[in-house]
């Protein structure tokens, strides 16, 4: 038998803290992973690195910034109402400093909105660097200026055809017209 070096144990990407410790099934003392209902009603696997974050089909998984901070990327799509195209561009032409500052306090950065005039699709993406996605999004959505911004922008948008309806893309703070989309490749 050939000698091989012992396998190195990789540290987990998302180390649990008391506030973010994974949920445990009743009677579960560790060891094998067990599927349990997460705090948001979604299925999570206790004991796995993924149980430490709220599962969302539109995130690319944990990664690291150049400065070593952990992050996840999220992307959404909606359709721009044709009659609102000029108003949409004008509304995004001015900055809302309170909304931008609150994004930073809720661990949201690199927020981007892209419009395809041929299909009237609008894509939004952002990087999330926190540990409590559901809590940060809820806190983001409760801010007065964010509510004002969301009410203004949602009248310009509608869900994409074939989505499961407004609730399918509902993320607190992002409004109900957005549907999650998958990132295919990311090269920092």
> CA torsion angle for 37, 40, 43, 46 (degrees, to 10)?
-60
> What's the mean pLDDT in 9-37?
45
Q: Is the pLDDT assigned to residue 75 strictly greater than 80?
A: yes
Give me the CATH number covering residue 106. 3.30.70.100
Handedness of CA 68, 137, 159, 144 (dihedral sign): negative
Q: Name the domain count of the chain.
A: 1
pLDDT on residue 82: 92
- Place 61 in a pLDDT band, splitting at 50, 70 and 90: low
pLDDT on residue 2: 53
**Among the listed residues 16, 65, 63, 69, the one whose alpha carbon sits nearest the alpha carbon of residue 44:** 16
The residue whose two tokens read 């999650």 is: 180
The answer to the question of residue 162 being in a domain is yes
Global pTM value: 0.59
The answer to the question of residue 1 being in a domain is no
pLDDT on residue 77: 92
The answer to the question of residue 17 being in a domain is no
Separation of alpha carbons 73 and 186, rounded Å? 9
Residue 157: give the domain boundaries.
63-180
The answer to the question of residue 48 being in a domain is no
């Amino acid at each position: 038998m050939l000698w091989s070096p012992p396998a190195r144990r990789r540290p987990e990407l998302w180390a649990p803290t008391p506030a973010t410790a994974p949920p445990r099934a009743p009677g579960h003392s560790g060891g094998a992973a067990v599927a349990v209902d997460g705090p948001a009603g979604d299925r999570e696997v206790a004991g796995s690195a993924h149980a430490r974050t709220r599962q969302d089909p539109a995130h690319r998984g944990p990664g690291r910034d150049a400065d070593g901070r952990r992050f996840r990327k999220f992307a959404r799509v909606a359709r721009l109402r044709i009659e609102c195209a000029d108003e949409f561009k004008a509304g995004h032409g001015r900055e809302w400093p309170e909304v931008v500052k609150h994004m930073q306090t809720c661990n949201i950065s690199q927020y981007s909105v892209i419009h395809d005039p041929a299909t009237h699709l609008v894509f939004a993406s952002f990087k999330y660097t926190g540990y409590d996605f559901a809590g940060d999004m809820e806190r983001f959505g409760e801010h007065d200026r964010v509510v004002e911004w969301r009410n203004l922008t949602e009248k310009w948008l509608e869900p994409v055809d074939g989505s499961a309806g407004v609730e399918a893309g509902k993320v607190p703070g992002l409004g109900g017209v957005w549907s999650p989309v998958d990132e295919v490749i990311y090269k920092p």
